[in-house]
Amino acid sequence: MDIYLPIANLSVNAFVIILLGGLVGILSGMFGVGGGFLTTPLLIFYGIPPTVAAASASTQVTGSSISGVAAHMRRKGVDFRMGAILVAGGLVGTIIGTGLFQILQSWGQIDTVINVLYVLMLSSIGGLMFKESLQSVRALRAGKPLPARKRRHHPLVANLPFRWRFYRSGLYISPIAPFVLGLLTGILTMLLGVGGGFIMVPAMLYLLGMGAQVVVGTSLFQILFVTIASTMMHSMTTRAVDIVLASLLLVGSVTGAQLGAKFAQRMRPEYLRLALATMVLLVAIRMALGLGFQPDEIYTVQPL
Amino acid sequence: MNRPHSLSARLFALFTIAMLTVAATPVLVPEVSQDRISIRGDFNGAQLLLFGAITYPPGTRNTDQADIVVVLKGPVKSIVVREKQQIAGIWINAASSEFRSAPGFYAVASSKPIDEIVDGKTADIYELGLHHLQLSPVGAIDNRELDRFVDGLVDLNSRGNLFKNLPNSVKITNSVLYQARINLPASVPVGDYTAETFLIIDGRVNAAEVKDITIEKIGMGRFITNLSQNNGFLYGLIAVFISVFLGWSAGYLFRKM
Nearest to A235 among B42, B186, B232 (CB): B232
User: How far, in Å, CA of B82 to CA of A107, rounded?
Assistant: 10
Kindly calculate the radius of gyration of chain B based on its CA atoms and give it in whole angstroms: 23
In chain B, how many domains are there?
A: 2
Higher pLDDT: A155 or B229? It is B229
Nearest to A250 among B232, B238, B246 (CB): B246
Instruction: Tell me: do B79 and B95 sit in the same domain.
Output: yes
User: How far, in Å, CA of B92 to CA of B182, rounded?
Assistant: 35
**Cα A175 to the center of its chain, rounded Å:** 22
State which residues form the domain around B170.
Answer: 4-217
Contact flag A294-B86 (C-beta cutoff 8 Å): yes
Contact flag A241-B239 (C-beta cutoff 8 Å): yes
Largest CA distance in chain B: 86
Q: Is A234 on the interface with B (CB under 8 A)?
A: yes
Nearest CA in chain B to A56: B239
pLDDT given at position A303: 78
pTM, two decimal places: 0.78
What confidence category does residue B1 fall into, taking pLDDT thresholds of 50, 70 and 90?
A: very low
Contact flag A254-B153 (C-beta cutoff 8 Å): no
pLDDT given at position B22: 45
Residue B184: CB atoms within 10 A of its CB come to 24
User: How far, in Å, CA of A243 to CA of B225, rounded?
Assistant: 10
Instruction: Tell me: do B130 and B254 sit in the same domain.
Output: no
Top residue of B240, B245, B248, B253 to mutate, by most chain A CBs within 10 Å, is B240
pLDDT given at position B23: 44
User: How far, in Å, CA of B75 to CA of A8, rounded?
Assistant: 17
DSSP string, B64-133: TT-EEEEEEE--EEEEEEEEEEEETTEEEEEEEEEEEEEES-EEEEESS-HHHHS-HHHHHHHT-SGGG-
Contact flag B235-A65 (C-beta cutoff 8 Å): no
Q: Is A128 on the interface with B (CB under 8 A)?
A: no
Instruction: Tell me: do B179 and B253 sit in the same domain.
Output: no
Cβ(B183)–Cβ(B47) under 8 Å?
Answer: yes
Contact flag A299-B149 (C-beta cutoff 8 Å): yes
User: How far, in Å, CA of B150 to CA of B133, rounded?
Assistant: 9
pLDDT given at position B196: 93
Q: Which residues of A fall within a CB distance of 8 Å from B102?
A: 301
Domain assignments of chain A as residue spans, ordered by start: 2-292
Cβ(B190)–Cβ(B39) under 8 Å?
Answer: yes
Cβ(A217)–Cβ(A69) under 8 Å?
Answer: yes
Nearest-Cα distance to chain B for A89, in Å, is 20
**CA trace torsion A102, A239, A283, A115 (10° rounding):** -20
pLDDT given at position A188: 85
At B45-91, the pLDDT tens digits run 899 999 999 888 777 666 667 899 999 998 999 999 999 888 888 88
What confidence category does residue B6 fall into, taking pLDDT thresholds of 50, 70 and 90?
A: low
- Percent of the residues in chain B that have a pLDDT greater than 70, as a whole number: 88
Instruction: Tell me: do B172 and B232 sit in the same domain.
Output: no
The CATH number covering residue B83 comes to 2.60.40.1930
Instruction: Tell me: do B109 and B135 sit in the same domain.
Output: yes
Residues 134-193 of A with CB under 8 A from B: none
User: How far, in Å, CA of A41 to CA of B229, rounded?
Assistant: 26
Higher pLDDT: A296 or B22? It is A296
Instruction: Tell me: do B138 and B253 sit in the same domain.
Output: no
Please check the confidence at residue B144 and state whether its pLDDT lies above 50: yes
Higher pLDDT: B48 or B4? It is B48
Residue B40: CB atoms within 10 A of its CB come to 13
- Percent of the residues in chain B that have a pLDDT greater than 90, as a whole number: 39
* Cα–Cα distance list, B159 to A297, B153, B156 (Å): 10, 10, 5
pLDDT given at position B75: 93
**Can you give the pLDDT of all 304 residues of chain A as single tens digits?**
788 888 888 888 999 999 999 988 888 777 767 777 788 888 887 888 888 888 898 899 888 888 778 877 887 778 888 889 889 998 999 899 889 888 888 888 887 887 888 888 888 888 888 888 888 888 878 877 666 555 566 676 666 777 777 777 777 777 888 888 889 888 888 887 777 777 788 788 777 777 777 777 888 888 888 889 889 988 998 888 999 999 999 999 888 888 887 777 777 777 877 888 888 888 888 888 877 887 777 888 887 7
DSSP H or E stretch at residue A255 = helix A243-265
At B98-119, the pLDDT tens digits run 999 999 999 999 999 998 999 9
pLDDT given at position A33: 72
pLDDT given at position B24: 60
State in Å, rounded, how far the first CA of chain A is from the last one: 33
Largest CA distance in chain A: 62
Identity (one letter) of the amino acid at A230?
S
Going by C-alpha positions, the residue among B170, B171, B177 that lies closest to residue B55 is B177
Instruction: Tell me: do B169 and B115 sit in the same domain.
Output: yes
Residue B191, phi then psi, degrees to nearest 5: 145, -165
Handedness of CA A114, A120, A126, A129 (dihedral sign): negative
Instruction: Tell me: do B36 and B99 sit in the same domain.
Output: yes
pLDDT given at position A191: 81
Cβ(A237)–Cβ(A102) under 8 Å?
Answer: yes
Q: Cα angle at B189 between A194 and B129, to 5 degrees?
A: 125
Nearest-Cα distance to chain B for A175, in Å, is 28
CB pairs under 8 A between A and B: 181
Contact flag B98-A304 (C-beta cutoff 8 Å): yes
What confidence category does residue B197 fall into, taking pLDDT thresholds of 50, 70 and 90?
A: very high
Cβ(A65)–Cβ(A198) under 8 Å?
Answer: no
pLDDT given at position A150: 59
Nearest-Cα distance to chain B for A191, in Å, is 17
Instruction: Tell me: do B33 and B156 sit in the same domain.
Output: yes
